[in-house]
Amino acid sequence: MVSASILALDVEQLNRDWQWMLSVLQTVLQRGGDEQLAELLPVPGSKLDIEKTPADSVQLTQAYSIAFQLLSMAEQSSAAQFRDRIESESGMADLPALWGESLQQLIDRGWSADMIASELPSMRVELVLTAHPTEAKRATVLAHHRRLFRRFQMRHQADLPPWRRSENEQAIESVLNILWRTGEIYLDKPDLQSERRNVMDYLTVVFPKALQPLDQRLRQAWREVGLSEDAIADPLALPRLTFGTWVGGDRDGHPLVTPEVTEETLMQLRRGAIELMREELVQLARLTSVSAYWLPPTSEFLNRIAERAQAMGDVGAKAIARNPNEPWRQYINLMMASLPTVKANGGLQNDAGQTFTYQRSRELLADLRCLHESLVAVDMADVAANAVAPTMRIAQTFGFHLAVLDIRQNSAKHDTAIEQLLRAAGMSDWKFASWDEAKRMKFLTEELASSRPLTHPDSSAGEEADAVLGALRVVTQYRSKHGADGLGALIVSMTRNTSDLMAVYLLAREVGLLQRTENGPVCPLPVVPLFETIDDLERSPEIYDRFLQHPITRNSLAAIAQREGSSAPVGQVMIGYSDSNKDGGILASLVGLRHAQRKLTHVARSHGVRARFFHGRGGTISRGAGPTHRFIKSLPDHTIGGDMRLTEQGETIAQKYAHEPTAIYNLELFLAGVTRKSLADSRSKEAEHPLEPTLVKLAAWARSTYCELLHSEGFVEFFREATPIDAIEQSRIGSRPARRTGQQTLDDLRAIPWVFSWGQARCYLSGWYGVGSALKKLQTECPDEFAAVKKSLRDWAPLHYLISNVATSVTAVDIEVMKQYAALVDNATLRERFVTDIESQWKLACEMVEAVYGGPMESQRPNVQRMIALRSEGLRLLHRQQISLLQRWRSYNKMGEHAQADALLPALLLSVNAIASGLGTTG
């Protein structure tokens, strides 16, 4: 549950808030004539008679979905108020994992203000927004949720006059009424355009608004811990937050992501960035309406205005004339006139006759720097800090691109594309995919020595080749026009060999993306491996070592570093949490990821390269989620290096960033955590913890137990009948198919629906299965090591993160509900065998986790227990409804009565949505 990441809140306030919100929802239902439904809401303190509630009421499911959203809002609001109260009463250093505590810990370790300040500008966190099929809410519904939260926050303002309080409460009721009448699921599958709009909203509205509060909080914490403000006076001398996106660029198993979609996405991001900067400059002009009559600027600044205006001709003259005797506004007018304008059809153009237009955002940033310095020079430093500095940070963060767009494709698709190119070139031996690694590498190396393409640019080699080359051609054309600032990485999912990476260079050569230099060909964009399965993670150091050895990789990384001004080449490596967990269970996944990062860091270092890890985390514990501060602390030492890149997927984006106080809190956790961990690592020696071998041992045992279950005869049949996986595959929660190729196998099923379906059945299998038996074996066979695990639990971050995540997973299990879903399995023998095994393993996992903690879960994990207890009764009602609907839907399908089955599907999907709302997660 995402809510479990909330560190602390006021429980009494939470209960009051949720009860009040439910009372408003009851009023809405009563007004609409749904009095009986209003009485069935899960009001705290009331007892529901589940047996007397309707078994498949769509209205009740909708009402509960909204009720759980209100609970989540109440939790977030209560947590925000709790944090505000702590900071007001005790100071910022008393809040765990944020800037105050992080800076104080660094001071305690001997860091001075100047020492910390010198490192801050090199700290960076890049969040990559993705649209995997995990978002169970329509964009319209999410917008209603945000409006509701803002109004709910107003309710807690103590100084609201009576008329304003009355108006606010009426507005809350109005939004709830609209929400009740809107409906929460997609009746049609969402398209990429709607996913893009959702991402654009966060990039142009939510995140820009969070930047200034984030900087203000850092500066306030800096003052409170007694550091000199002079050390961070420069507006850009602070940690950087940047963004990426996969929407419109991720084509791994997504047939709708065409080259045309990628081109549209790149231009939409560019237009959005320029419009954002124009809006910011308009606002900045309003804030700098200083008259030269009362405050003359420096002659240097006036000369700069005159020179720029003259260079811009008529456009410059008009900009100057607009605000006579207000030089700072005139300068901003010139800046606005230097931005490319957006045409009516959405394209970009320059004003006619204009001789100066910004080509890169760094030119705009340089002008903002000049504006800032000109105000400081005339004793207007407060205006420079409060008006210009925030605009500088937005320009630094979003540039002219908002977010970099990654291009991801599966290695198998690249193989097929190359085979088609070889056939088109007339080669008799064209079966590239079947060649051994030595032959593939020899061919690629020889081909890359030549600039001659295999086929003519205007010819078609085949469908896969056209799709792959088309995407790379779009990237090439965008780069030639606008530079590389808006372009991310070329990511190869399912990287199994070095040749999978080298193949991208060959494909890039075909479209002219490779550049010829004295040292050989260079790729201007990083080619990035994605190691996903546990086996691939184990082999990743060897694969990456060979990749870095190749001259084209070395030259490319050096060229990229020179362009970006990096002191050393940076090698990006993406590691997948989802497939490794699905593949081997949570313990084997986290330990495998940990060891892969350590080894890959050493490999990169041996080639003079700094490894930059791209963490492919999902929204659930089974897919790498967990409390942000613990995740960062748990990462292997010396693997962050002040630069973290990670995915934010599906519903996680809305839950962590939709509401301003929650967004600022989560972003601060990342920035403060990365800074603290990176600086602490820089002064520590690399030493293996004594329990590392124990973790490896536990991971192997847990994986063996987990894989034995997955490969048991009849398990796939049990899984498909004991979870709503078949309904999830029909859901309208994302544009991407649930399977990569459509085969009905566990291997082909994406990790997201795999985790989603077990969560809906309240089993969370991949979040705990096998861990209990592994811990029990350790306790029995290696009691000293088990004692060491108990002793080190809270002192060693990786162990604490792992065990706490398992604890959350087992606590979220409702074994009785799981059995009710399992009752849907027709084969009684199969059902009994797997239910008995899963229940015994779950009980063992609970027992062993409590043994490690040294106490019952209720006392050791009170936050998680409270979150689940608040939802338990309502969730059981929804599970009962879903099981009833699922049973009838499947029966109709088996009898061939598909019209009746289709009629039930909206209600079934709404139940999926409502349960996801209650659990706070999908996949």
What is the full DSSP assignment across 314-368? HHHHHHHHTSTT-HHHHHHHHHHHTSPEEPTTS-EE--TT-----SSHHHHHHHH
Q: 406 near 489, Cβ under 8 Å?
A: yes
Structure tokens at 228: 């000199």
Q: Is the dihedral of CA 554, 559, 562, 564 positive or negative?
A: negative
- C-alpha dihedral over 850, 856, 860, 866, to 10 degrees? 120
- Integer Cα distance of 369 and 393 in angstroms: 11
pLDDT at position 746 over 80: no
Q: Cα–Cα distances in Å, from 104 out to 88, 431, 632, 835, 917?
A: 17, 60, 18, 50, 38
Q: Are strands 520-522 and 515-517 parallel, antiparallel or unpaired?
A: antiparallel
Q: 119 near 671, Cβ under 8 Å?
A: no
Arithmetic mean of pLDDT, 442-450: 95
Helix (H) or strand (E) holding 130: strand 124-130
Residue linked to tokens 């990006």: 572
Q: Quick one: what percent of the chain has pLDDT higher than 70? A: 92
Q: What is the pLDDT of residue 142?
A: 77
788-792 long-range Cβ contacts below 8 angstroms, 24+ apart: 788/690, 788/691, 788/694, 789/691, 789/694, 789/852, 790/851, 790/852, 790/854, 792/691
Q: Which of 132, 137, 414, 638 is catalytic?
A: 132
pLDDT band per the 50, 70, 90 thresholds, residue 745: low
CA angle, corner 493, sides to 129 and 805, nearest 5?
A: 60
Q: What is the pLDDT of residue 2?
A: 38
pLDDT at position 698 over 50: yes
Lowest-confidence region among 104-113, 484-493, 734-743, 810-819 = 734-743
Which of residues 491 and 6 earns the better pLDDT score? Answer: 491
Arithmetic mean of pLDDT, 625-640: 92
Most distant pair of Cα atoms in the chain: their distance: 91
pLDDT at position 481 over 60: yes
- Integer Cα distance of 827 and 475 in angstroms: 53
Which residue type occupies 744? Answer: Q
> What region does 406 belong to: left with phi over 0, alpha with psi -120 to 50, or beta?
beta
Q: Is the dihedral of CA 522, 523, 525, 528 positive or negative?
A: negative
What pLDDT digit, counting tens, does each position of 702-727 carry?
A: 999 999 999 999 999 999 999 999 98
Please give the DSSP secondary-structure letter assigned to residue 639: S
Arithmetic mean of pLDDT, 12-36: 91
Lowest-confidence region among 40-49, 98-107, 400-409, 537-546 = 40-49
pLDDT at position 387 over 50: yes
Q: Mean pLDDT for the chain?
A: 90
pTM here is: 0.94
What is the full DSSP assignment across 108-129? HTT--HHHHHHHGGG-EEEEEE
Residue linked to tokens 């006759």: 353
pLDDT band per the 50, 70, 90 thresholds, residue 3: very low
Q: What is the pLDDT of residue 137?
A: 58
Residue linked to tokens 């504006």: 371
Alpha helices, H only, 532-585: 534-549, 551-564, 577-584
582 is catalytic: yes
Q: Are strands 404-410 and 487-493 parallel, antiparallel or unpaired?
A: parallel
pLDDT band per the 50, 70, 90 thresholds, residue 40: confident
- C-alpha dihedral over 396, 397, 398, 401, to 10 degrees? 80
What pLDDT digit, counting tens, does each position of 548-607 carry?
A: 999 999 999 999 999 998 889 999 999 998 888 888 999 999 999 999 999 999 999 999
Arithmetic mean of pLDDT, 518-528: 95
pLDDT at position 864 over 90: no
Q: In Å, how far from its chain's centre is CA 170?
A: 35
Q: What is the pLDDT of residue 456?
A: 86
Arithmetic mean of pLDDT, 126-149: 77
Q: Which of 582, 595, 633, 697 is catalytic?
A: 582
Q: What is the pLDDT of residue 351?
A: 44
Q: What is the pLDDT of residue 44?
A: 73
Q: What is the pLDDT of residue 685?
A: 85
CA angle, corner 336, sides to 332 and 340, nearest 5?
A: 160
Which residue type occupies 68? Answer: F
Q: What is the pLDDT of residue 748?
A: 57
- Integer Cα distance of 42 and 22 in angstroms: 8
Q: 152 near 18, Cβ under 8 Å?
A: no
Q: 254 near 413, Cβ under 8 Å?
A: no
CA angle, corner 324, sides to 323 and 327, nearest 5?
A: 80
Which of residues 467 and 867 earns the better pLDDT score? Answer: 467
Q: How many CA atoms lie within 13 A of 315 on its CB side?
A: 20
Structure tokens at 591: 């330990």
pLDDT at position 448 over 90: yes
Structure tokens at 10: 């006021």
In DSSP terms, 166 is beta-bridged to: none
Structure tokens at 608: 């003079």
Q: Cα–Cα distances in Å, from 159 out to 154, 162, 164, 855?
A: 10, 9, 10, 45
Arithmetic mean of pLDDT, 266-281: 97
pLDDT at position 282 over 90: yes
3-class DSSP state of 566: coil
- Integer Cα distance of 404 and 540 in angstroms: 25
Which of residues 610 and 12 earns the better pLDDT score? Answer: 610
What pLDDT digit, counting tens, does each position of 138-180 carry?
A: 667 778 888 999 999 999 988 999 999 999 999 999 999 999 9
Which residue type occupies 672? Answer: A
Q: 602 near 563, Cβ under 8 Å?
A: no
What pLDDT digit, counting tens, does each position of 336-369 carry?
A: 999 987 664 445 555 444 557 899 999 999 999 9
Q: How many CA atoms lie within 13 A of 692 on its CB side?
A: 12
pLDDT at position 851 over 80: yes
Which of residues 859 and 349 earns the better pLDDT score? Answer: 859
- Integer Cα distance of 721 and 822 in angstroms: 7
Q: What is the pLDDT of residue 583?
A: 86
pLDDT band per the 50, 70, 90 thresholds, residue 1: very low
What is the full DSSP assignment across 572-595? EEEEEHHHHHHHH-HHHHHHHHHH
132 is catalytic: yes
Q: Quick one: what percent of the chain has pLDDT higher than 90? A: 72
Q: 27 near 876, Cβ under 8 Å?
A: no
Which residue type occupies 572? Answer: Q
Which of residues 48 and 512 earns the better pLDDT score? Answer: 512
What pLDDT digit, counting tens, does each position of 294-312 carry?
A: 999 999 999 999 999 999 9
Rg (CA), the chain: 29
pLDDT at position 737 over 80: no
- Integer Cα distance of 465 and 467 in angstroms: 5
* Residue 472, Cβ density class (10 Å: 0-12 exposed, 13-18 middle, ≥19 buried): buried
Q: What is the pLDDT of residue 134?
A: 45
Q: What is the pLDDT of residue 764?
A: 92
